[in-house]
């Protein structure tokens, strides 16, 4: 099947208590690792491209890589989504250039300006069958050009969501309930430590999610910054010359709980980066004589595939759901 927008996926995800994985793509191996897992697990998927990815790999290359995945995986629905669209022009370029979904991130703007910008993108997108994600509230952490210091983040205000969704016409809403971008989601002082000395992060604000859901029944909610930063991969990085002390993410049980509620899209990027980097570091450490990129990119791609498979089955709950999302 051809690329689809997110409408049917979110409808089914909401109804049946799961979430669609939105994974960031930057090169061929990442696209392949993700989509091979989704194909084998019969899972719908959102492949998302950030402004940074477009700057790195070039818009055309990314679109063509995703089109190749669509051709290789005809049995699963795939969305091509712009992650953190910074302005109308970037959203327009992606809509005109083959994307089936875009995010316009006006979360840093005053409320009225966020509404005006988001509505402008929605009007343009909907005329062309493209779905739009908006955002209220800001996440801490770093993702490409989006940089917010810990302490400067702000939770979504539930009293704003009805007006925002009604006036803009967005198809989904990203909210801030304590997730954050990057591999250092919480400062050590925000956490406790378990017996092994590993940081235990504070719980997500499910009370905010609940309030938002009550105000917007049936409406798809999105969580950004939802990697779990698997400690096995942090260890693999650190044992092979890396330096990522106190890297920490959102516990998977909390994401599973969110997926069973109104959260229909969960963004995961850092976990795939860690799988790729850990694998390559270990390869180089163990085989310093090797220099053929295929030899180290192959196991990296295989581990991306396995971590995505794990997410589909055990965190998102969308394995086996491809058919109902078509």
**Residues interacting with Zn ion, by CB under 5 A?**
224
CB of 57 to Zn ion, least distance (A): 18
Least Å distance, CB 141 to Zn ion, is 9
- Cβ of residue 99: shortest distance to Zn ion, in angstroms? 16
Nearest to Zn ion of 35, 270 (CB atom) = 270
- Residue (30 or 297) nearer to Zn ion, CB: 30
**123 is an active site residue:** no
Minimum Å gap between C-beta 322 and Zn ion is 25
Which of 83, 105, 171, 269 is the catalytic position?
83
Query: In the complex with Zn ion, which residue's Cβ is closer, 51 or 321?
Result: 51
Residue closer to Zn ion (CB basis): 224 or 301:
224
Q: What is the 3-state secondary structure (H, E, C) of the chain?
A: CCCCCCHHHHHHHHHHCCCEEEEECCCHHHHHHHHHHHHHHCCCEEEEEEHHHHHHHCHHHHHHHHHHHHHHCCCCCEEEEEEEECCHHHHHHHHHCCCCEEEECCCCCCHHHHHHHHHHHHHHHHCCCCEEEEEECECEEEECCEEECCCCCECCCHHHHHHHHHHHCCCEEEECCCCEECCECCCHHHCEECCCCCEECCCCCHHHHHHHHHHCCCCCEEECCCCCCCHHHHHHHHHCCCCCCCCECCCHHHHHHHHHCCEEEEEECHHHHHHHHHHHHHHHHHCCCCCCHHHHHHHHHHHHHHHHHHHHHHHHCCCCCCHHHC
Catalytic residue set: 83
């Amino acid at each position: 099947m051809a690329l689809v927008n997110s409408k049917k996926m979110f409808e089914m995800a909401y109804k049946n208590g799961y979430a669609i994985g939105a994974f960031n793509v930057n090169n061929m191996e990442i696209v392949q690792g993700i989509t091979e897992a989704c194909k084998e697990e019969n899972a719908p998927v959102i492949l998302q491209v950030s402004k940074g990815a477009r700057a790195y790999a070039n818009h055309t290359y990314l679109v063509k890589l995703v089109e190749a995945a669509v051709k290789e995986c005809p049995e699963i629905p795939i969305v091509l989504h712009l992650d953190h669209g910074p302005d109308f022009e970037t959203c327009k370029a992606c809509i005109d250039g083959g994307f089936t979904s875009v995010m316009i991130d006006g979360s840093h703007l005053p409320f009225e300006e966020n509404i005006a910008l988001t509505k402008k993108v929605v009007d343009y997108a909907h005329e062309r069958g493209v779905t739009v994600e908006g955002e209220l509230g800001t996440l801490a952490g770093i993702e490409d050009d989006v940089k917010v210091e810990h302490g400067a983040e702000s939770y979504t205000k539930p009293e704003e969501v009805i007006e925002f969704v009604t006036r803009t016409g967005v198809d989904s809403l990203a909210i801030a309930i304590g997730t954050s971008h990057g591999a250092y989601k919480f400062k050590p002082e925000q956490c406790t430590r378990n017996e092994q000395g590993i940081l235990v992060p504070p719980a997500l604000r499910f009370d905010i999610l609940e309030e938002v859901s009550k105000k917007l029944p049936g409406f798809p909610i999105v969580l950004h910054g939802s990697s779990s930063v698997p400690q096995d991969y942090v260890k693999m990085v650190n044992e092979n010359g890396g330096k990522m002390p106190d890297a920490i993410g959102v516990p998977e049980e909390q994401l599973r709980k969110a997926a069973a509620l109104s959260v229909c899209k969960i963004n995961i990027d850092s976990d795939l980066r860690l799988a790729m980097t850990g694998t390559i570091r270990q390869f180089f450490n163990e085989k310093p004589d090797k220099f053929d990129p295929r030899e180290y990119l192959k196991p990296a791609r295989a581990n991306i595939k396995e971590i995505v498979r794990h997410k589909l089955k055990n965190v998102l709950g969308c394995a086996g759901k491809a058919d109902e999302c078509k």
